[in-house]
Structure 1
């Protein structure tokens, strides 16, 4: 038998039927970001750090980072021939450790030091890095090095795991730089200390593992910040590090 329903009625019935269908619930739960690969920061120790970090650096290489601050950006090249320090810096940057820190020690005309904070939430053990000190890399203006503590209990010159510094320094005559370095400088290094400046007194004592390639003026801006008696800037200079390549 033929249907006598009009096309308009059929359309209305179809719409009503569709309206009666229960809507599927929409999930509002946030999607957790994938975990950052690499060693567990709370499991690193003096005895296993070098091996684990070397392997990490081979698996997840990069050679350049940008350090963002309220006073400008520092583009930093990391040296390939300092593998443990380089890999450690990349690991902590990618894990977000440095993003919870500030520049905590500023000495105008010498260096700006960062990597600490009163508000860090990411768990990280207190491990050290074996020194990777060599004559090729020196403390010219813009050099990136790793700090060291407990010198009287640290004859091996082991580096801190998270406290780093950028050299501001000052210009020095070849005679001054040679006397301060306590080692033989190449003619090219003496010229660099004379024309660009630096802190040769740190040569041979701390590991240099990178240098600023853009934004040297930002070091000067941070160094000019008012500081307290502990050299901590009166207004925090926060750090955000982006691994770019």
Structure 2
């Protein structure tokens, strides 16, 4: 049996009493109030994505491009950022890319086809929730824009299914390629290359076999090394990276 000395017992009683008195004198805490709801972000301007069709895409995108111009985007990935300049003389492709970027479509996609030494393709995902109609972009193939390393182009079905060379609305790619002698570059190209283009293929590299067949509507101005890092990702038999390379696109100016 345990016994307590008087001082200890008294101290304990006093301590208990003090705690009790303190509790009685405290002001009850104010009732918790619910945090204010976050404001709903304003709608992104531009045509509804589900309203775009082959029959109206050119008119709607032309109007959008004039009303909301921009010329530069940043593609954010876990391998780093690609700063991309968009060309003014491919206005339909440019407006379409800006519209989908601002609407958040590309932010729900990944680089879904990667071929090391050739190109990295993005714009698709198994998890995209933003709905948009299926439509195509008329070709805007310009002789001045070619498939040098870092070129941004829009994918499409081959000529057997798509003789008009209509571009996809969401599938884009960045060229990686390799350095080629002028003879090699001209032999691969589908059109006559200028001396400057031949020099670029020799010093920078690219894929001249795509020239004249796909629309190039921009180019990487910073972050070319990111293309190499993504291209080096291990892929499955369908060329899809085994670990997703998510895409976030920011329109900067």
TM-score by length of 2: 0.86
The alignment partner of 2:93 has SS state of helix
* Number of equivalenced pairs: 224
Partner of 1:74: 82
Is 1:218 aligned to 2:223, yes or no?
A: no
Is 1:118 aligned to 2:126, yes or no?
A: yes
Partner of 1:50: 58
Cα RMSD, aligned residues only:
1.6
Rounded to whole Å, the distance in 1 between the matches of 2:85 and 2:144 is: 15
Q: Deviations over 1:70-120 (max 9, x none)?
A: 000000000011000000000000000000000000000000000000000
Rounded to whole Å, the distance in 2 between the matches of 1:137 and 1:193 is: 13
Deviation at 1:218, TM superposition (A): 0.2
| Bigger-Rg structure (1/2) | 2
Partner of 1:175: 183
Partner of 1:153: 161
Rounded to whole Å, the distance in 1 between the matches of 2:190 and 2:164 is: 18
Structure 2: runs of 5+ lacking an equivalent:
1-30
Deviation at 1:26, TM superposition (A): 6.8
Q: Deviations over 1:129-188 (max 9, x none)?
A: 000001010000000000002532211100000000000000001011111112110000
Rounded to whole Å, the distance in 2 between the matches of 1:158 and 1:178 is: 25
Rounded to whole Å, the distance in 2 between the matches of 1:35 and 1:27 is: 23
1:233 to 230, 234, 241: 241
TM-score by length of 1: 0.89
Q: 1:205 to 1:233 in 2, by over 3 A?
A: same
Rounded to whole Å, the distance in 1 between the matches of 2:37 and 2:188 is: 60
The alignment partner of 1:151 has SS state of coil
Partner of 1:140: 148
Partner of 2:213: 205
Partner of 1:108: 116
Rounded to whole Å, the distance in 1 between the matches of 2:136 and 2:160 is: 15
Partner of 1:90: 98
The alignment partner of 1:152 has SS state of coil
Deviation at 1:190, TM superposition (A): 0.1
Report 1:178-197 matches (<5 A): 178-197=186-205
Partner of 2:5: none
Q: Deviations over 1:16-49 (max 9, x none)?
A: xxxxxxx9x8773332110000011111011110
Q: Is the 8 A contact 2:190 2:210 kept in 1?
A: no
Q: Is the 8 A contact 2:114 2:230 kept in 1?
A: yes
